[in-house]
Chains A and B, each alone.
Chain A
Amino acid sequence: MRRLYSSLVDGRGFDLCLIGIPLAFLIVLSGIPLIYNVVMSFQAVDMFSLGSFIRPWVGFENYRQLIAQPEFWPIMGHTATFLAASIAGQFLLGFALALFFWTNFPGASWLRGLFLVSWVMPGLVVGAVWNWLLSGDFGVFNFVLRELHVISGNVFWRSDPNFALWSVIIANIWLGTSFNMILLSVGLSSIPADLYEAAELDGAGALTRFWTITLPMMRSTIGALISLGLIFTLQQFDLFAAITSGGPNNASNVAQYWAWDLSFKQYDFAKGAAISVIMIAVVMVASVYYVRSTRHEVRG
Chain B
Amino acid sequence: MSETFRNRLLLLVALLLAAVYLFPLYWMYITALKTGSEMFRAPPSFWPDDPQWSIFPFVFQLKGMGRFLWNSVVIASGSVALIAVLGTGAAYVLARYRNVWIDVGLFLVLMLQVLPASLMITPIFVLFTLTGILDFPRTAVILAIAAKSMPFFIVLVRATFMSVPMELEEAALVDGNSRAGAFWSIVLPLARNGILVAAILIFMQAFGEFVYSKSLIQEIELQPSSVGLNAFMGPNTNEWNRIMAFASIYVTPILATFVLLQRRIVSGLTSGALK
Residues of A within 8 A of B (CB): 8-11, 14-15, 17-19, 21-23, 25-26, 29-34, 36-37, 40, 45, 50-53, 97, 100-101, 103, 105-111, 113-118, 120-126, 128-133, 135, 137-138, 140, 143, 174, 177-178, 182-183, 186-187, 221, 224-225, 228, 231, 234-235, 237-238, 241-242, 245, 256-257, 259-260, 263-264, 269, 272-273, 275-276, 279-280, 283-284, 286-288, 290-291, 294, 297-300
Closest-by-CB residue of B relative to A264 is B215
CB distance B179 to A10 under 8 Å?
A: yes
User: Which residues on B sit within 8 Å (CB–CB) of A128?
Assistant: 229, 233, 243-244, 247
- Contact pattern, B 88-128, Cβ under 8 Å of A = 1, otherwise 0: 01101111111000010111111111111111111111110
CB distance B262 to A242 under 8 Å?
A: no
Decide if the interface of chain A is mainly helix, strand, loop or mixed: helix
Is residue B137 within 8 Å, beta carbon to beta carbon, of the partner chain?
A: no
User: Which residues on B sit within 8 Å (CB–CB) of A122?
Assistant: 207-210, 225-226, 250-251, 254
Knowing A26-B112, A113-B263, the reply to whether A228 touches B119 (Cβ < 8 A) is no
B21-67: which have CB < 8 Å to A?
Answer: 21-22, 24-25, 27-28, 31, 39-40, 42-44
Alpha-carbon distance A137/B90, docked complex (angstroms): 53
Alpha-carbon distance A53/B126, docked complex (angstroms): 10
A-B contact pairs, 6 of them (CB 8 A): A14-B183, A36-B123, A174-B21, A238-B210, A263-B121, A280-B116
Alpha-carbon distance A127/B228, docked complex (angstroms): 14
Knowing A29-B147, A221-B274, A297-B275, the reply to whether A11 touches B179 (Cβ < 8 A) is yes
Knowing A9-B178, A29-B143, A110-B262, the reply to whether A131 touches B233 (Cβ < 8 A) is yes
Alpha-carbon distance A116/B125, docked complex (angstroms): 32
User: Which residues on B sit within 8 Å (CB–CB) of A107?
Assistant: 11, 14
Decide if the interface of chain B is mainly helix, strand, loop or mixed: helix
CB distance B262 to A241 under 8 Å?
A: no
CB distance A294 to B274 under 8 Å?
A: yes
Residues of B within 8 A of A (CB): 6-7, 10-11, 13-15, 17-18, 21-22, 24-25, 27-28, 31, 39-40, 42-44, 86-87, 89-90, 92-98, 103, 105-127, 129-130, 143-144, 146-148, 150-151, 154-155, 159, 162, 178-181, 183, 201, 204, 207-211, 214-215, 225-226, 229-230, 233, 235, 240, 243-244, 247, 250-251, 254-255, 258-259, 262-263, 265-266, 269-270, 273-275
For the complex formed, measure the closest distance between the CB of B212 and the CB atoms of chain A, giving whole angstroms.
Answer: 10
Residue from B109, B211, B259, B270 within 8 A of A260 (CB atoms): B211
